Amino acid sequence: MPNFQVGSDFFFSTAANTDAEPGASAETVATAVTTLQTRLDSPLPLPTGAATQSTLAAIQTALATLQAAVDSLATQAETQPVSIASLPLPTGGATEATLAAIQAAIGELALPGETQAIAGVVSVSNFPANQVVTVDNPIAGFFTETTGGSLLTATQALTKPGDTQAISAAALPLPAGAATGAKQDTQREGVARVRISGTRNTVGDGTAIIAAPATGQEVIISHLHIQASEAPVALQTVTLKGGAADSDGFPVLCDSIGNGFSGTLPQGSELRMGDGNEVFLNLTEATGVTYFLQYRVGAVL
């Protein structure tokens, strides 16, 4: 019966190890050999309860964890940490509430040398007849020696009915119709006279010769003198204007040297230049003009 070699070290008999019958063809023998090879390559089933690779790995992991836990335990010769936070107290042991009550009671007791407050009735058989009483906190406003002395000093400083009495009239009311300081200032401003003089030789308004008063006030001109100081090339007209927008004003013809206007304006005929207006001297020609004005500032009518 023929034998075949599988691998390098194993021989088997086709009669004993394959499904081929004695006298089978080479093709049948080859098929039998392939079938046998497949069976040998397949893993053999484990018996019931046998450890698998994954079971062994889990056991190894558990053993490593156990070893680490054992290594972390202290030996008998080492100090062992013990917690007594929740151990039961012995019979009659003081609790936190009991200690707090004791502390409160001790805190209320007076130390040696301190004054002890006593509530209730105290009977003293040998109490002296006269006692010295010291008041540490006198009643507010209570009459004391200090306040009595101050009152006596203040009373002695008062004047008697026959003495001259000092009085102040700074805040006394004025009688009906009396002039106030404001009215007096207004009247004084209206009475005061101001005189100005100068020359002009530029065409137009130029710079104001009298500054603007406050609103509600106006310049009131009572005397006016304007005359040509140079021979005009053409007809020179000088206009006294109340504000730059004044298109009328008070015109004065200065057609030759020395000509112009000079006069005093009576009360009621004075030149009023308008509410809050400054005063300009407008020239139509660039020839010299001299001027002299007397005015006051008064309330607008």
For residue 114, what pLDDT is reported? 72
All residue ranges of the chain with pLDDT < 50 are: 1, 4-18, 185-189
Let me know if 57 is exposed, middle or buried by CB neighbors in 10 A (0-12, 13-18, 19+).
exposed
Owner of token pair 């004084």: 188
| Neighbour-count burial of 219, counting CB atoms closer than 10 A to its CB (0-12 exposed, 13-18 middle, 19+ buried) | buried
Q: Taking the model in full, what pTM does it have? A: 0.39
In order of 113, 123, 218, 293, 298, the CA distances from 225 in angstroms are: 105, 114, 20, 6, 21
Burial pattern 224-241, b for ≥16 Cβ within 10 A else e, equals: bbbbbbbebeeebebbbb
Q: What Rg, from alpha-carbon coordinates, does the chain have?
A: 67
Give the 3-state DSSP-derived string for 154-176, with helices as H, strands as E and coil as C: HHHCCCCCCCCCCCCCCCCCCCC
pLDDT of amino acid 135: 60
At 24 the pLDDT is 64
pLDDT of residue 12: 46
| C-alpha distances out from residue 181 to 25, 178, 184, 186, 214, Å | 154, 10, 5, 9, 18
Residue 294 and residue 223 in contact, taking contact as beta carbons nearer than 8 Å: yes
Q: For position 59, what pLDDT does the model report?
A: 85
Residue (of 293, 259, 295, 280) closest to 202 by Cα position = 280
What is the C-alpha to C-alpha distance for residues 109 and 125, in angstroms, rounded to an integer?
25
Most distant CA atoms of the chain, gap in Å = 174
Cα gap 241→239, rounded to integer Å = 6
- Dihedral pair phi/psi, residue 255, rounded to 5°: -90, -10
Q: How many CA atoms lie within 13 A of 89 on its CB side?
A: 6
